[in-house]
């Protein structure tokens, strides 16, 4: 079986060195050193790449052999944004384990794998989704098992009204986008550099909102997305369902908590941080399509509510916990 997870992680990294059937002694030493590198510090305990890869291998049994056969392949993977997402999911798993959250039943796990893939416009089976993001999906299923089987109409309606544009709207946006990875090597940036880029856009938002910096000047000064920078940051029309074109975490945060009424004038959103990019978005127009009625979108509202409750629970469990991702390992 092709290692779905690994191919997805490195699809944009360029040509890879061929895997070797038998690693040389020096190669074996490099592999061991890379796998033993710390990738997460959580509440004073260091966790290694080997621990995370072992957990991922539960969902993709071909992964460990593919990685251990080539140190260059392994290094690219461990420094990738995809692996950063896995380390963060592993960190959440530690939180759930510490809180004594029980495992989910197999049926719920598979249903959540299918739903997770649909949320991201990904084709395939539950098995392929689990091979891609098994730790995250299992975490979600464990927390979903603690939620009510059915939500009442009033609760669903309240959630819908938290952000009507999420279910009925589309936006015309511009953005400033800065990568959180090295554009030459593809490696994720260290945590302090990722935070510094977030802080840059946070200060930029403050200056734009205070009228001390024009949006077009901010785009010219800070954007590192050459395509939209050439258009003065203009992206076009976006709606919440466009997960085949835009990162799901970006869309989720962009449309969250916009309320019921149309915002007056230009609205800034962000900074919005994903594993790959940090964004500052200017919403230039927002249109609500059709009648705002729960029955038109009930399944989507319920899915959104469950997702919100999962994230709130993870935030509650993480409160007061010291967590640092120690990537890239090659820094």
Can you list the alpha helix ranges (DSSP code H) found in 145-268? 153-162, 164-168, 191-209, 215-222, 226-229, 248-255
Provide the whole-model pTM.
0.91
* 188-268-199-195 Cα dihedral, nearest 10 degrees: -30
Q: How far apart are alpha carbons 115 and 203 in whole angstroms?
A: 37
Residues 6+ apart with CB under 8 A from 249: 272, 274, 275
In the three-class reduction of DSSP (H, G, I as helix; E, B as strand; rest coil), residue 86 is classed as helix
Per-residue pLDDT tens listing for the chain (331 residues): 444 444 444 544 444 444 444 445 667 779 999 999 999 999 999 999 999 999 999 999 999 999 988 999 999 999 999 999 999 999 999 999 999 999 999 999 999 999 999 999 999 899 999 999 999 999 999 999 999 999 999 999 999 999 999 999 999 999 999 999 999 999 999 999 999 999 999 999 999 999 999 999 999 999 999 999 999 999 999 999 999 999 999 999 999 999 987 666 779 999 999 999 999 999 999 999 999 999 999 999 999 999 999 999 999 999 999 999 999 997 6
Q: How far apart are alpha carbons 288 and 307 in whole angstroms?
A: 23
Q: What is the predicted pLDDT for the residue at 10?
A: 53
Residue 69: half-sphere exposure toward Cβ, Cα within 13 Å: 13
State the residue for tokens 């890869």.
53
Domains and CATH numbers, the chain: 4-15+24-146+319-325 (no CATH), 163-288 (3.10.50.40)
Can you list the alpha helix ranges (DSSP code H) found in 173-247? 191-209, 215-222, 226-229
Task: Give whole-number Cα distances, 268 to 104, 178, 256, in Å.
Answer: 39, 16, 13
In the structure, how many helices (H) and strands (E) does the chain have? 15, 7
Torsions phi, psi for 294 (to 5 deg):
-55, -40
Q: What is the predicted pLDDT for the residue at 291?
A: 94
CA 129 to chain CA mean position, Å = 15
Q: How far apart are alpha carbons 235 and 240 in whole angstroms?
A: 14
Q: What is the predicted pLDDT for the residue at 26?
A: 60
Residue 123: half-sphere exposure toward Cβ, Cα within 13 Å: 0
Residues shown for the chain: 331
In the three-class reduction of DSSP (H, G, I as helix; E, B as strand; rest coil), residue 12 is classed as coil
Q: How far apart are alpha carbons 33 and 4 in whole angstroms?
A: 24
- Record the tokens describing residue 291, joined without a space: 């009648």
In the three-class reduction of DSSP (H, G, I as helix; E, B as strand; rest coil), residue 114 is classed as helix
């Amino acid at each position: 079986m092709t290692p779905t997870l690994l191919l997805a992680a490195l699809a944009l990294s360029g040509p890879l060195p061929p895997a070797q059937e038998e690693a040389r002694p020096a190669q074996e030493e490099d592999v061991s050193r890379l796998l033993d590198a710390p990738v997460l510090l959580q509440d004073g305990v260091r966790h290694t790449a080997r621990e995370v890869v072992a957990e991922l291998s539960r969902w993709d049994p071909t992964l460990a052999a593919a990685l251990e056969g080539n140190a260059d392949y392994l290094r690219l993977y461990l420094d990738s944004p995809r692996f950063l997402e896995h380390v963060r999911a592993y960190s959440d798993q530690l939180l759930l384990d510490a809180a004594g959250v029980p495992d989910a039943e197999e049926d719920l796990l598979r249903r959540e794998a299918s739903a997770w893939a649909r949320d991201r416009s990904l084709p395939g089976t539950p098995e392929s989704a689990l091979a891609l993001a098994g730790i995250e999906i299992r975490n979600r299923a464990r927390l979903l098992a603690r939620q009510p089987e059915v939500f009442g109409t009033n609760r669903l309606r309240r959630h819908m009204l938290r952000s009507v544009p999420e279910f009925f709207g589309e936006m015309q946006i511009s953005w400033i986008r800065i990568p959180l990875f090295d554009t030459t090597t593809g490696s994720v940036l260290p945590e302090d550099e990722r935070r510094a880029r977030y802080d840059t856009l946070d200060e930029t938002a403050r200056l734009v909102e205070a009228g001390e910096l024009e949006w077009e000047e901010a785009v010219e000064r800070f954007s590192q997305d050459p395509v939209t920078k050439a258009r003065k940051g203009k992206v076009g029309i976006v709606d919440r369902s466009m997960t085949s074109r835009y990162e799901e975490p970006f869309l989720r945060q962009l449309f969250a908590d916009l309320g019921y009424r149309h915002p007056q004038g230009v609205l800034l959103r962000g900074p919005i941080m994903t594993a790959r990019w940090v964004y500052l978005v200017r919403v230039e127009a927002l249109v609500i399509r059709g009648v705002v009625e729960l029955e038109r979108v009930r399944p989507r509202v319920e899915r959104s509510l469950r997702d919100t409750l999962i994230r709130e629970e993870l935030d509650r469990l993480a409160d007061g916990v010291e967590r640092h991702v120690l990537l890239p390992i090659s820094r």
